[in-house]
Structure 1
Amino acid sequence: MAPISVPLASRLPSLLRIAPNSALVTRLLSRLSRASLLSLALDWLDESNQSLTAPYLRVPDEYDDDGQASDFYPPARSREALQEHYTELQSRKGSKRDVLDRILEGDWRHGLSLYQLAMVDLQHLYDHPASQRWTAFQIVPLKVEGDIGNGEDGMTPATAVVDKTSLIVPRFHPSSFLRNLQAQILPDIKVHYNFDRHKHLPLLLLRIFILDSPYNTSLATAPPPPSTKVDRRTAEKMTSTPRLANVELSRTIYIAFPDASPFVYLSSAQSYSPDAEHLSGLGPSSASSAASLRSLVVEAIPKALSQAHERFALKPTSLATRNLAELLRRRGAGRTNTAGGGWSIYADEKVIGDSPLSTLLPASVASRLISTNDTSREPVSSSKRAVSPGTTRAQQQSKRRKQVAAARFGQTARLDDGYGVERFDIVMLDPYPDERQINTAPNLEDAAVTEEILEAASAPALARAARRRSKGGRRSHIDAALAYDEAEAEEEEARERNVTRSTAGDDQDEENEGEADRNGAGSIWQPRVALTFHGPHVFAGIRQLVEAGVIDGEKMPGWMTGEEGVTVGAVRHGRIRGHKGSGML
């Protein structure tokens, strides 16, 4: 009698093997180079990994002479023999296809375990660091405000708000985190987790592999049985397209935990088969499924980190990039989190003598003082510091532009620094200046008064843009970020009005609204201008434009130097507003 598989709430075991002829296995291995495949095979043959990555070896008296001759890849007699063979392949030239066929049809013909697939996926991430797009989230502590109750009898209901004065950092333990995270996963899906220490960066990677199956046995990787109760359209689609196994509909997402930092980095949900839902004829679209998976993980992470009397939440930081090194630089444990652009000289630990915070004199000033106090030397003539006659005006302007770029960008935004951002989205929320605004200097005291005017003027434009986006098309990153910011700002304003509203405050609000109407709020024209910068290193390109004279470095706003540390933001009153503020944490 065949064993019965009962749906369980546990996670997928690392020993669960997937058939080598599966399209998922072939697709994952085909992304690697020949050198990476050989390196992985040697790691699988290591003695410490034999419980999860054991190869297919020859059993004594299993093969006769005829069977061994008919097998194109006869199994080896021992693990040591396979190690010698793959070590020899590293020193010889050959094709990647030969190595791939030997792995799938010879030494691991009985299938690859989920642990081996995790190693393959992580190796591809190390070989191609820009293959994933990461978003930085801040882990913020929460506190309870109000009375515990339902709001009756004049009591304010208890709400959890961000505690900005708390210095509590969640304690992270991998086994406890996985146990709490598994409790937040839906029971009708199965997940495989794999932790790995990054080879080059100080962070811990968690790979989450999700299958749409309630079983944690071989049934999870088997193709779904044909359903009898389907409509005519679904039946025609199922007969015209092949039915894929659950493993073909799987998705993967990464979570990176930097060392000694209250941030986490979350990658986009990755589907191994882009047309999996279309071919299977089942389930939602790929984009909606990826979004739901990512939102599920975002909600589960703070719950898994929380403990009794210590609750946490994830706060977006408006920083998304494919460069993990840039994320560690901007949202890590270093000193450059809020010191970008020209301010980076204050956080650069390598610059000891030239830092403005250093108590030592810079080397240039010290050498000048020594030469001045030394009476044995002749005084430096002022004619030597004059510009030589051969120096043209163009060379002087070029040198001036480079000095301005060095002052605005500091030690950042260089092509070879390894901290490139490939996309930068900005939307301008300032109204179009009229004659009165051009001829009159801006008054900073009126900024608070005109804030409501600008919001009232921008509301119709944002509403029209939302209606256009709802009709179809891809939603940009800047639209999603601004929608989140506006919703959270409205919630916070409503909460503050419920707590601190008074009669005098209401009268003052009515007076401000009347003044705004008298100033002609409806006549303000505010076009929605969005700027998107693309390139391998956006801010290095802007720095080159400043050095070339295309952009005026002296009048350039600070957000163009990358000093705010955000990749999505809105500019109002000349300042960038990232996630609820100036963009800085």
Structure 2
Amino acid sequence: MAPISVPIASRLPSSLRIAPTNAIVTRVLNRLSRPALLSLALDWLDEGNQSLTAPYLRARGDDADDEDEDGDFYPPAASLEALREHYTDLQNRKGSKRDVLDRILEGDWRHGLSLYQLAMADLQHMYDHPTSQKWTAFQIVPLKAEGDDASAVTAVVDKASLVVPRFHPSSFLRNLQAQILPDIKVHYNFDRHKHLPLLLLRIFILDSPYNTSLAASALPADVDSRAGATAAPRLTNVESSRTIYIAFPDASPFVYLSSAQSSSPAGERAPGSGVAGSSSTSGAAAAASLRSLVVEAIPKALSQAHERYALKPTNLATRNLTELLQRRGAGRTNTAGGGWGIYADEKTTIESPLSTLLPESVASRLEGKNGKGADETPSISSSTKRAASPGKTRDQQQAKRRKQIAAARFGLSAKMGDGCGVERIDIVMQDPFPGGRRFDRAVDRGEPMAVDEGPVPTPADRRRSKGGRRSQIDAALARDEEEAEEEEARVREQARKTAGQEPDEEAETGVDDGESTWRPRVALTFHGPHVFAGLRQLVEAGIIDGEKMPGWMTGEEGVTVGAVRHGRIRGHKGSGIP
């Protein structure tokens, strides 16, 4: 009698195997190169992984199936040692990736690949392509009960606390599993990054209430009542799965969350469905809901009794994990970006950041030279100008001056090939337009305006009016404004309770005079493999004035999405400190 599968709340076991004919298996393995496939197969054949990655081997003393194996294109091996020798021999000679892939799926692992093997293949692809995932940095902030009552339901961020939650993988997974909905099943896999000081958690989610082989089986076929025919089986639960990564840097109060990846390719029409691309549309919505679910579950999994935490966005998103560790890691560069990075360099000793001249060792490193004299030390102050060298033309002197300014503004950062590149920066200018006061006085005098701006569109109207890539600026601004309003209301309420006064209606309904100034919406978007390195090259070329350039253009603010008001980035201002 076949076992009965009952929906339970436990997670998926790593030993659960998926048929090699499943589309998700071939899709995951097809992304790997031939050397990566051979290296992965040798890892599967390791003695320590045999409980989860055992291959299909010929039984010892079984001579009855010799005639059947004669017609097998990939006859099973007799031992693990023979398979290791075979794959090692494949590494030493040339061949095609298709031969290796067919050998794995139709020969040695014909009985299926376990979820642990799929996780290893996914992680191998991420190691081979470091920019395949888009990461967003979140800060773990402690919470405290609002008011004197420690048992209060509402809590606010404790800005004075320096407590960092203790992270234990098994306890974190147990608490995280308690936050997962019971109608889906999740497989977790921890892995230590090969090159960076962080721990990776891969979360693989299936839309199934079962944790047995039924979770990887096809859904029932659809029956067309009009034609009386049965359509093809619908997509399996595995093909409609979602994958998301969480990175935990060492000794850092930050976590990095990747975008949810759908296993179904974009635009693919599901069998049995009548609308092409419907699966991709629903998959994008499901991926977004999955990501929000994980964001809400992480602080709950980290919290303990009398220690509650929350995740706070840092407005830093990139595909480069090295840049995230540089800006939101355990090092000293979290609050010392751009030219201030020289004071966070452990190899140099600088007495005070108020010094106008950089030390000789730092200046030589900024210029990329060794053993040069002190006359080439870049000066931050414009008052310390030196006499021009007699053998140099004016253009050479200006080019040298621009390089010195770029070295002073950017420091040791923003160099091509440093591995800390940011691909996209979205900035909205909220400063008043120069001369806006004159426009306001002209309106007061009754003079007609030259341009009729019309009603100011809302962020929702802008999203409906234009297509293309959806910007994160509107969401970030709405989030910051909501947090600022809540904080202001909370402070005002506490002050009122302390003074024993009634609410001040005039103060609550007052209008800020500064908001009446004309503020045109100007959005700046920078694209490229290394945005700040490109800005540094523009400064060295004289296209951008390095002396008047704002600090957020040098990368010292450490954000990729933000709004500029009064010359400063609103929100975290790059410090990472709430």
Structure 1: segments with no counterpart, 5+ residues: 151-156, 372-384, 439-457
Report the alpha carbon displacement of residue 148 of structure 1 after superposing the two structures with TM: 5.3
Contact kept? 2:235, 2:270, Cα under 8 Å: yes
Deviations 1:447-480 (A, max 9, x none): xxxxxxxxxxx9973x533223246745311122
TM-score by length of 1: 0.84
Is contact 1:18–1:221 with CA below 8 Å preserved after alignment? yes
Q: Which amino acid aligns with 2:12?
A: L
CA contact (8 A) 1:135 1:265 kept: yes
The Cα shift of 1:289 comes to 0.7
**Aligned mates of 2:130, 2:454 — CA distance in 1:** 40
Q: 1:213 aligns with which of 208, 226, 233?
A: 208
- Separation (CA, whole Å) in 2 of partners of 1:525 and 1:241: 60
Shift of 1:73: 0.4
Aligned to 1:476: 471
Task: Report the residue type matching 2:539 in the other structure.
Answer: V
**Counterpart of 1:315?**
312
- SS of the aligned residue for 2:215 comes to helix
The 2-side partners of 1:459 and 1:296 are apart by 40
Residue number in structure 2 paired with 1:526: 519
Query: Could you tell me which residue of structure 2 aligns to residue 452 of structure 1?
Result: none
User: Any conservation in 2 of the 1:570–1:576 contact (CA below 8 Å)?
Assistant: yes
- Per the normalisation by structure 2, the TM-score is 0.85
Match of 2:170 among 155, 175, 182: 175
2: CA distance between counterparts of 1:197 and 1:536? 26
**Shift in CA distance, 491/55, structure 1 to aligned 2, threshold 3 Å:** same
2:246 pairs with 1:255: yes
Q: 2:340 aligns with which of 338, 343, 352?
A: 343
Q: Distance in 2 between matches of 1:160 and 1:53?
A: 46
- Structure 2 CA distance, aligned partners of 1:185 and 1:410? 45
State how far apart, in whole Å, the 2-side matches of 1:73 and 1:174 are.
Answer: 40
Matches of 2:530 and 2:81 in 1, distance apart? 47
TM-superposed CA distance for 1:576, in Å, is 1.3
Superposition deviation, residue 288 in structure 1: 1.2
Given that 2:221 and 2:232 are in contact with CA atoms closer than 8 Å, whether structure 1 keeps it comes out as no
Contact 1:15 1:114 (8 Å CA) reproduced: yes
Alpha-carbon distance in 2 for matches of 1:386, 1:560 = 30
Q: Compared with structure 1, are the counterparts of its residues 223 and 543 closer, same or farther at alpha carbon in structure 2 (3 Å cutoff)?
A: same
Shift of 1:436: 4.8
**Unaligned stretches of 5+ in structure 2?**
364-369, 375-385, 440-452
Tell me the equivalent position of 2:443. none
User: Structure 1 residues 310, 103: closer, same or farther in 2, change over 3 A?
Assistant: same
CA distance in 2, matches of 1:361, 1:435: 44
1:548 aligns with 2:541: yes
Q: Match of 2:396?
A: 395
Match status 1:138 vs 2:129: no
| 2:562 aligned to which of 569, 575, 578 | 569
1:245 is displaced (CA, Å) by 0.4
| Partner residue in 2 for 1:264 | 255
Aligned in 2, Cα 1:430/1:582: closer, same or farther, shift over 3 Å? farther
1:278–1:285 contact (8 Å) kept in structure 2: no
**Could you tell me whether the CA contact under 8 Å between 1:354 and 1:361 is conserved in 2?**
no
**Structure 2 counterpart of 1:163:** 158
Could you say what secondary structure the match of 2:239 adopts?
helix
SS at match of 2:143: strand
CA distance in 1, matches of 2:120, 2:425: 32
Q: Where does 1:60-79 land on structure 2 (aligned, <5 Å)?
A: 60-61=61-62, 64-79=65-80
Give 1:490 deviation, angstroms.
2.0
Q: Compute the RMSD of aligned alpha carbons.
A: 3.4
Superposed CA deviations along residues 23-68 of structure 1, whole A, max 9, x for unmatched, are: 1000000000110000000000010111110000011325544322
Q: Tell me the distance in 1 between the aligned counterparts of 2:576 and 2:7.
A: 47
Distance 1:471-1:351 versus aligned 2 partners, 3 A rule: same
- Asked whether the equivalents of residues 249 and 272 of structure 1 are also in contact (C-alpha less than 8 Å), the reply is yes
Aligned residues: 536
Which residue of 299, 324, 329 corresponds with 1:327?
Answer: 324
Corresponding residue number in structure 2 for 1:455: none
Distance change >3 Å, CA 544–CA 507, structure 1 → 2: same
| Residues in 2 aligned to 1:217 and 1:338: alpha-carbon distance in whole angstroms | 49
Residue 201 (structure 2) pairs with residue 200 (structure 1): no
Superposition deviation, residue 206 in structure 1: 0.3
Counterpart residue identity of residue 271, structure 1: S
The aligned counterpart of 1:382 is none
Any idea what the Cα deviations from partners look like across 1:226-255, whole Å, max 9, x if unmatched? 367x999xx99x977761100000110000
> Which SS does the other structure have where 1:285 is aligned?
helix
Question: Which structure carries more helix by proportion?
Answer: 1
The answer for the alignment partner of 1:11 in structure 2 is 11
Aligned residue for 1:410? 411
| Cα deviation, residue 218, structure 1 | 0.3
Structure 2: distance between partners of 1:294 and 1:217: 25
Distance 2:387 2:546 in 1: 25
Seen in structure 2, the aligned counterparts of structure 1 residues 188 and 258 have a Cα distance that, compared at 3 Å, is same
**1:393, CA displacement in angstroms?**
0.8
Q: State the 1:431 CA deviation.
A: 1.8
User: Partners of 2:362 and 2:489 in 1: how far apart?
Assistant: 56
Decide whether aligned partners of structure 1 residues 460 and 301 sit closer, same or farther in structure 2, where only a CA change above 3 A counts. farther
Q: Please name the residue that 1:489 is paired with.
A: 484
Which amino acid in 1 is paired with 2:165?
P
Relative to structure 1, the CA distance from residue 426 to residue 57 in structure 2 (aligned partners, 3 Å threshold; closer, same or farther) is same
Residue range with higher mean Cα deviation, 65-74 or 173-182: 65-74
What is the letter of the counterpart of residue 328 of structure 1? L
**283-292 or 132-141, which moves further after superposition?**
283-292
